[in-house]
Structure 1
Amino acid sequence: MSETMTDYTTLFRLDGKRALLIGAGGIGREAALALAAHGAEVICADKDPLTAKATAADTGGEALELDITDAAAVHRAARELGDLDVVVLTAATNVRKGILDYAPEEFDRVVALNLKATFTVLQAFGRGMVERGTGSIVVFSSVRGFVVEPGQSVYAATKAGAIQLVKTAAAEFGAAGVRVNAIAPGVVETPLTDQIKNDPGWYRAYATKGALGRWSKPTELAGAVVFLASDAAGYVTGSTVMVDGGWTAVDGRFTPPA
């Protein structure tokens, strides 16, 4: 095969790559399975060691207990893990309350995980990638980084902030050959959305908001992770991939007559 030709059959393969998956439950578990299925060696990190171990067992990878709100622990993990080709951050939290009802400690908790810890992960693991001159970092944002609803003020602000951190990291790390991107899911069937799923009207309203008329499954986010981690996305950086079923494309929930 000529050196100028690309082998498209291996474009999405991750053989020989070491990937760190932070947030090993729900969407993170499926992302870890997908990365492993494409050949990556996956380190499954989670604040809950049982979650990390369960996902690691399913991927044949390594488990790591890691609280990313502990900056010192994150920087220590970056040093101890050594060379990484891929870092995927899915961990996040939400307190659904109106602005007038939000407590300062709730604000601090959401910001600490969703925004400050995102910065810490970019800084700690980005440093090694920049020094090596290669790597891909994928951060999970949300449609709430673009559109909001009552009760989502702090969560939405952190998810919008995460997108701006991703863009800035892409700009700063790009000259070294390191790519940084975000994924913005819409509404996903996970245990964290039980409150909504248990309310038929609420569930239906979310399902019909997007173009596909249904919620997504965690498995449907995994493809975007593999794409951004792989050579298939070799010229993609500073981007936010919308995996929202058309949520941000559709104007309102009413379908007017044609």
Structure 2
Amino acid sequence: MPMSVRDLFDLTDRKALVVGAGSGLGRASAIGLADFGAAVIAADLDAAAADETAKIIAAAGNTASSMVLDVTDTAAANAAATEHPDTEILVVTPGYNVRRRLLDTTDLDFDRVIDINLKGSYRLMRAFGATMAARGKGSIITFASFRAQVIEPGQGLYAATKAGVVQLTKTMAAELGPAGVRVNAVLPGTFETPLTAQIKSDHDWWGAYEQKSILKRWAQPEEIAGAIVFLASDASSYVTGSTQLVDGGWTAADGRFEPTV
């Protein structure tokens, strides 16, 4: 009997490593995957935060553990892939932003943003891509941003790294597709997370973002989970090399003016 569409989303007995699971979109992703049956490893630089995510998942009757992982450490990324060679789902969420205009940034700013956002994603994709390819299956989900497509003054370094993540994602999808590994990028829009706390502290900035999206509001972290579950599961078995926007319609409309026609 053919599998039902509902069953395509079932992640039972699949191991998922969510990096950056200690808060925000990473935590929401981890909880969402666990709700659909995945055995989740919540990884984060902050051990206490990762452990808290694992406890939240376990309290709901699902399976989870936690680990410390620094995405700027190549050896740590390689060790994680070696320790968990049966990982079928990798979600890479960590992000770092320096909100300053390019003329005011420094080489240290550049190196830090690159090391976490772009090279951090690269380290994990390379390490787990190899083990997944060897097993002949797997789904890698990277986190880029709507800033990979549209920019704002003061976020040039962040935008550049997220555009780079998109291109790394497409390349790895092309290279690992024949081995049965799918690789896709999620491009979140305006989500209320620790990463956007600086914007929330500025009433005008926060309100302008709120009005720009078609839905006229900020998103909550749990609203990312549907896209993650879809890309992790067999429901997206023919989806790879894609960029999935979750931006409330921000990039669909220019938002300059609503004519009375």
TM-score, normalised to structure 2, is 0.96
Distance of 2:155 and 2:200 partners within structure 1 = 17
Which of 24, 27, 30 is the matching residue for 1:26?
24
Indicate the residue corresponding to 1:158 in structure 2. Answer: 161
Distance of 1:195 and 1:77 partners within structure 2 = 32
Indicate the residue corresponding to 1:39 in structure 2. Answer: 37
Indicate the residue corresponding to 1:9 in structure 2. Answer: 6
Residue type at the aligned position of 2:177: G
**Are the aligned partners of 2:44 and 2:50 in contact in 1 as well (CA < 8 Å)?**
yes
Distance of 2:177 and 2:66 partners within structure 1 = 30
Which of 193, 196, 201 is the matching residue for 2:199?
196
Sequence identity (%): 53
Indicate the residue corresponding to 1:221 in structure 2. Answer: 224
Q: For this pair of structures, how many residues does the alignment match?
A: 255
* Larger displacement relative to structure 2 (156-165 or 189-198): 189-198
Residue type at the aligned position of 2:163: A
Which of 132, 136, 139 is the matching residue for 1:133?
136
Residue type at the aligned position of 2:180: G
Indicate the residue corresponding to 1:207 in structure 2. Answer: 210
Indicate the residue corresponding to 1:67 in structure 2. Answer: 70
Distance of 1:254 and 1:69 partners within structure 2 = 43
* Larger displacement relative to structure 2 (181-190 or 195-204): 195-204
Q: Does residue 1:233 correspond to 2:231, yes or no?
A: no
Q: Which runs of 5+ in 1 are unaligned?
A: none
Distance of 1:29 and 1:200 partners within structure 2 = 26
Report the aligned-residue RMSD: 0.9
Distance of 2:201 and 2:126 partners within structure 1 = 39
Residue type at the aligned position of 1:208: Q
Residue type at the aligned position of 1:221: I
Indicate the residue corresponding to 1:170 in structure 2. Answer: 173
- 1:89-116 deviation per Cα after TM superposition (whole angstroms, max 9, x unaligned): 1111000001110011111000000001
Aligned-residue offset at 1:244: 0.2
Describe the SS at the equivalent of 2:87: coil
Question: Structure 1 segments of 4 or more deviating over 3 A?
Answer: none
* Larger displacement relative to structure 2 (230-239 or 198-207): 198-207
Q: 1:206 to 1:253 in 2, by over 3 A?
A: farther
Distance of 1:99 and 1:9 partners within structure 2 = 47
Indicate the residue corresponding to 1:50 in structure 2. Answer: 48
- 1:60-107 deviation per Cα after TM superposition (whole angstroms, max 9, x unaligned): 311110001000110011101121110001111000001110011111
Describe the SS at the equivalent of 1:57: helix
TM-score, normalised to structure 1, is 0.97
Residue type at the aligned position of 1:216: A
* Larger displacement relative to structure 2 (69-78 or 195-204): 195-204
**Are the aligned partners of 1:167 and 1:181 in contact in 2 as well (CA < 8 Å)?**
yes
Indicate the residue corresponding to 2:93 in structure 1. Answer: 90
**Are the aligned partners of 1:208 and 1:253 in contact in 2 as well (CA < 8 Å)?**
no
Distance of 1:228 and 1:237 partners within structure 2 = 9
